[in-house]
Amino acid sequence: MANKEERICIIGGGPAGLSAAMYLEKKGYKNYQIYEKQNKVGGKCFSPKIKVSHNGKEEEKTFETGAIMGAITYHAVSEMEEFGGYYHKGPDFKEGEPNMRREFRKLDGTVYEPFNPKADFSFKKLFSLMKLKKQMKKLNQLMQTKYVGYDCYGHIGVAKGEYYGISKGVEGHCGATKENSFPNYIKGTNPNLKDLALPFKKFCELNGVEEVQRIWIAPFTSFGYGYFDEIPAALVMKYLDVTTALEFVNMRLWTWQDGTQAIYTHVNEKLAHPANLNTEVVKVERPEGAKIKVTIKQNGKESVEEFDKLIVTTPLDYFKNYADATKEEKELFSKIIHERYIDYIGTFEAGKSPNISGYMVDNMVPERLGHAMVYYNRWQYLDRDCPATVYALANHTGSKDKDYDEVQKTMDEDMAKLGFPIKEKLYPQEVYYCPHVSSEDYQDGWYDKLDALQGTKNTYYAGEIISFGDMEDTCAASKDIVGRFFGD
């Protein structure tokens, strides 16, 4: 019989921590505390307000520095919306709402349409798009047949040719039925799933669908999730499953009027125990047969709290820095890799900002490491007076990392070449992004080893590393952890 009075410590007030608390509440657990060292909730979902001027008027609007969008496959986020009473806009956007229009630009600023056969028509382009369409159809068939079971959250069993997890399917989309759609657990054996441990580039080559990388690259690499020659295919295909990818292609996307951060501020306000802000966990002790002791630092003062269970939603590769990590934990967590994603909100001279979001696909390759890959224009009605968030990657396996200041300078130069000279940079930052493991460690069963540790020393691991580093997979990972390890 589950003891719903046991005291639970949740480290981190981002999407993972807040969703863990929400799912615990839904199961009747109310004796928990969330500790967040920052002065805000939402983690990388940070949506600051900036004053903008347009047509002689000044107003304050929200902008994004992290997560931007969602889609019909954002099931767990929908549950967060319902709990907090705050909902997305789109995909049919009304005037005055943020939207997801976008264009493609060459490095010299030229606008082009890579997927429109009528734009800059040539037989070479036409045949290329016909080939792409054929391979997209082939990939869709492969994922429903050869790789059945791929479209569930998390990575349990994949390295062994098995699958187990909450389905990401949407009934009626891409072959999904009521039985294998969210929130049902799906389970089975499929040896072909081992292919997902390969880097995505090799996975595509193996299956003769190399062209599909042209579609997947914009919503993946530009969003800070790494390059296709290094990232395991499982991360790519579980994030951009065929349904989600098609939503991106057809621009059937969601945004939030007050920013993605508002999802989590609303959830936090509805929780029985909102997050303790400006509270850093500086020490965790987990003695055998005794309560877990958590030392917190708040307003410069330290105090010790006792708990029955611990849920860690912050980066696991940092866990050893403040906790009594075991040998197994240290060894496993040391293999975690993360992306160095750099961004800032740029303002421009009056009338000189981009009036639509833009992809620079030519910069989304390792050879152009450190260059601006995408810029996000959030408010269409502000036209050429809208600030834009600019993003770049600073690391790649086998390459020397780019210096932060160097990348910032390169991003400025890239925007100037496009005709959008930066006037001021607001909230410049380097972000710990998309924690994952190498293809080799994935193949070696890293995720199964992590799952085997769940519950050891009354400790549970949630957060981005469990499934994928977007807010949907992160929240769904918390749903899974609470669902499997905390009784009804």
Name every residue whose Cβ is closer than 8 Å to that of residue 280 and which is 6 or more positions away in sequence.
35, 37, 296, 297, 298
Helix 242-249 vs helix 213-220: crossing angle, to nearest 10 = 80
Strands 32-35 and 8-11: parallel
User: What span, in angstroms and rounded, lies between the C-alpha atoms of 38 and 17?
Assistant: 13
The alpha carbon dihedral of 457, 440, 437, 148 has a sign of: negative
pTM equals 0.96
User: What span, in angstroms and rounded, lies between the C-alpha atoms of 150 and 245?
Assistant: 14
> Phi/psi at 288 (nearest 5 deg)?
-60, 130
Rg (CA), the chain: 22
Strand order in the sheet with 422-436: 111-112, 102-105, 357-359, 374-377, 388-393, 337-348, 422-436
Strand order in the sheet with 279-285: 279-285, 292-298, 301-307
User: What span, in angstroms and rounded, lies between the C-alpha atoms of 227 and 217?
Assistant: 8
User: What span, in angstroms and rounded, lies between the C-alpha atoms of 395 and 392?
Assistant: 10
Cα-Cα end-to-end distance for the chain: 8
Helix 123-144 vs helix 213-220: crossing angle, to nearest 10 = 80
**How confident is the prediction along the chain (488 residues), in pLDDT tens digits per residue?**
789 999 999 999 999 999 999 999 999 999 999 999 999 999 999 999 999 999 889 999 999 999 999 999 999 999 999 999 999 999 999 999 998 899 999 999 999 999 999 999 999 999 999 999 999 999 999 999 999 999 999 999 999 999 999 999 999 998 888 988 999 999 999 999 999 999 999 999 999 999 999 999 999 999 999 999 999 999 999 999 989 988 988 899 999 999 999 999 999 999 999 999 999 999 999 999 999 999 999 999 999 999 999 999 999 999 999 999 999 999 999 999 999 999 999 999 888 999 999 999 999 999 999 999 999 999 999 999 999 999 999 999 999 999 999 999 999 999 999 999 999 999 999 999 999 999 999 999 999 999 999 999 999 999 999 999 999 999 999 999 999 999 88
